Chain A
């Protein structure tokens, strides 16, 4: 599960610093609602995740609890649960009772270019004792850098067998390791004499689900092999995967084997 990987990476990368557990609350003059974590879980630069802010009521019910982010920094994207859409509220309901704990969830996308922690300004509105209240909270989202040596991993080593005189769609699977790789394209760099056809008679193929490969995701790129008028035997096909990591285009060469066999009668 990607969550676990991120947690592990974050833990390793920020080793030596404390986790954002119950960060010391800042002075709070309006004590009917308290934010217990002014620092969230860490997000890897280039990645996106749901994070939680934890609240405790302390002085009567806070009703119609609504939280939203004001003017996030350029490149930082924020969205909310689908049922509220333009804001987030408490997980259980929209009222925080005196002494009760509950949390709000927010989805944050951190740009690849983020080299330091990001700060989010949250505006909270609620009704307390029949009066509307508005408060602001500055929350720090720690950003860690992905430091893996590989962005993705070619999963498929063998394309299996194709009978002589037939054509077959074959697929090469890739597993994403880096947070987000866009514009994935696969071409055959050296077909070893085998005729290759891409989907829609194009000049390349992409991944099945979409052209983005995320960490923890495995997707497949397909192309067709026309095994006409070629010798039987094992072929080693050189493939070239290209993708965009932030603004940088990266190329990865690999190979797969394919066996052309005599057709069965």
Chain B
């Protein structure tokens, strides 16, 4: 399956300090999440566990830990701005299929 390639400009963006003390790159995580939500519906998986394996591979390929991803997901619930960023990424990525 195709891996996400994140533009270096995004990586250089702001590092957000999450409430639980785990820091992460919010634009990077938003990009990964938006693309993942688009890609997951385009693929089939042999085993249900393969879905998580694929997500974990994408995180690892971008040097994101599962703790950072969890913190990001937790913050998504409380942050409309973060959800909007993910939605923008989803729309931009999914509409073009790039």
Contact = CB atoms under 8 A, between A and B. Distances in A.
**A and B held together in a complex:** yes
Interface of A: 1-4, 6-7, 19-22, 36-37, 40-43, 49-54, 56, 81-82, 91-92, 97-103, 105, 107, 216
Given A19-B97, A21-B97, A101-B86, A51 B76 contact: no
A41 B42 contact: yes
Interface string B65-96: 00000000100110010011011001100110
A6 B44 contact: yes
A224 to B, nearest CB: 33
B1, B41, B86 pick with most chain A CB within 10 angstroms = B41
B33, B37, B77, B91 pick with most chain A CB within 10 angstroms = B37
Interface of B: 1, 33-34, 37-38, 40-48, 50-51, 73, 76-77, 80, 83-84, 86-87, 90-91, 94-95, 97
26 contacts: A1-B50, A4-B1, A7-B1, A19-B97, A21-B41, A22-B94, A41-B43, A42-B44, A49-B46, A51-B45, A52-B51, A53-B41, A54-B37, A54-B38, A54-B41, A56-B87, A91-B51, A97-B76, A97-B77, A98-B80, A98-B83, A99-B87, A100-B86, A101-B37, A101-B87, A216-B46
